[in-house]
Structure 1
Amino acid sequence: MYGFVFAGVCTLVRVRTEEKKREIVDVAAELFHEHGFERTSMSMIAERLGGSKATLYGYFQSKEQLLAAVLLYDVTDEADRLMNEFLSSGDLRDGLIKLGIAYMTRRLSPVPIANVRMVATQPADSPVGKEFFERVLGPAWDRLARRFALMMDEGLLKRADPWVVAMHWKGLNEWDMFEKRLLGAIDGPDPELLKKSSTLAAEAFLQLYGTDESRAGGSGS
């Protein structure tokens, strides 16, 4: 009986701790985007949260650690949404087009662009960029690579290195749009251009890696 109650209390504490961490991350993300990473202090974050710096440091030991959490939540949540978008289609070509549009719409949106800029402006000896790729971006792309590997097992894609396949898909969809957006040469995603680019990317991808079954409209789920 006591063990059951103790386990229940521990679960509640973990849930509340995670909720508080998410609240801190959301507030930090707002301030980073409003003022920039360098101009945002832990004091500003604590003030907006309505708590003390001591409480804030109890969850995150540094502003860099908090930035890493902001990036982790943002990319992980988006990766989940994009994968659900992909798997909701019964046709591989249609699923690839929807995934491409969703990915690039998000990729070119203000928050992801601001996040990349924050990471890119860290000092050369900062571990933030390396950790961002190893803990966040790499695992997100690996998830897509694993999905492509399953499609190879199902006979929907030709056998190839799943990571290379995922990177080819990424390149086919991005064109030069990400660089233009990052450098301010374009203001944001153009729906018509994204529809065109994602359709062409899906068709080129299936020419490279598709099988007779997938080109004929095989399932992508």
Structure 2
Amino acid sequence: MTSESTDPKHLAILNGATRMFLAHGYRNASMEKIAQAAPVSKATLYNHFDSKEALLAAVISNLCGSLLQTMTQVTIESDDVENNLNKIAISAMDLIYAEDALAIYRLVVAESPDFPELGQLFYQSGPQTVLTQLEDYFRHLNAEGHFNIIDPVFAADAFFSMLKGDLHLRCLLSKTLRPSANEKKRLISQVIHFYMRGMLHAKA
């Protein structure tokens, strides 16, 4: 049986919904319009997603999928912490500064005054999951006995915050500004260098 992640109709619905949400906003992107954009029947759409809220959550989760997959792999496959953080940072930067991700962020902020549940939905579907993954990784490092990370929750938040900073705000305020590949690489290198020496304390 075809899984949702590879089901062509499921993927078509996600792609169509992403386009409609970004073009028309959450309020004006009706389930009927999303079905037409996919294109699938309304019955097929509701067979996959029983509400527009659930569909938006899936769109956000889909955008975060690559990062979550990378984080899962590095916590299992490698003991090289600096290399692991570099992989996570690369995937995070690709996600944070992707055109669709920035547009979804703008959408949620714009719609939240009228739909306050969207803010919580966005946080739970993407950022919270990402943060929890990194927090768990830091707890794993502590349990292995090689590091003494005093506050894994703060450490995870600080890591992603440094990757965003002022640059992310400027990109949110401009539909044309995007960091180049070299700029992202340089920022990641600076963050990893600072982070390994300022946040992660190896045990003697």
TM-score, normalised via structure 1 length: 0.75
- Cα–Cα, structure 1 residues 173 and 17, in superposed 2: closer, same or farther, change >3 Å? closer
> Paired residue for 1:6?
none
Q: Which of 46, 63, 76 is the equivalent residue of 2:35?
A: 46
Percent identity, please: 24
Q: Partners in 2 of 1:74 and 1:49 — Cα distance?
A: 17
Q: Does 1:118 align with 2:107?
A: yes
- Cα gap change, 1:52/1:194 in structure 2, threshold over 3 Å: closer, same or farther? closer
In the alignment, residue 176 of structure 1 is paired with which amino acid? D
Mapped partners of 1:172, 1:17: distance in 2: 31
Instruction: Flag structure 1 segments of 5+ consecutive residues without an equivalent.
Output: 1-11, 215-221
Equivalent position of 2:82 in the other structure: 93
Map 1:51-130; keep pairs closer than 5 Å: 51-84=40-73, 91-124=80-113, 125-130=115-120
For 1:70 and 1:58, locate their aligned partners in 2 and report how far apart those are by CA, in whole Å: 16
2:158 to 163, 168, 172: 168
Q: CA deviation at 1:157?
A: 2.5
1:158 is aligned to 2:113: no
| Matched letter for residue 81 of structure 1 | T
Question: Counterpart of 1:51 in structure 2: which amino acid?
Answer: V
Would the aligned equivalents of 1:180 and 1:186 in 2 still touch at CA under 8 Å?
Answer: no
Q: Does 1:136 align with 2:126?
A: yes
Larger of the two Rg values belongs to structure: 1
If asked which structure has higher relative contact order (CA below 8 Å, sep 6+), I would say 1
Q: Deviations over 1:87-124 (max 9, x none)?
A: 66653223323432331132111011111112111142
* 8 A Cα contact 1:21 1:59, kept in partner: yes
Deviation (angstroms), 1:32: 2.6
Q: CA RMSD in A?
A: 3.0
Out of 149, 166, 169, the position equivalent to 1:179 is 169
Residue 180 of structure 1 aligns with an amino acid whose one-letter code is R
- Normalising to structure 2: TM-score of the pair? 0.81
The 3 A distance-change label for structure 1 pair 191 and 89 is farther
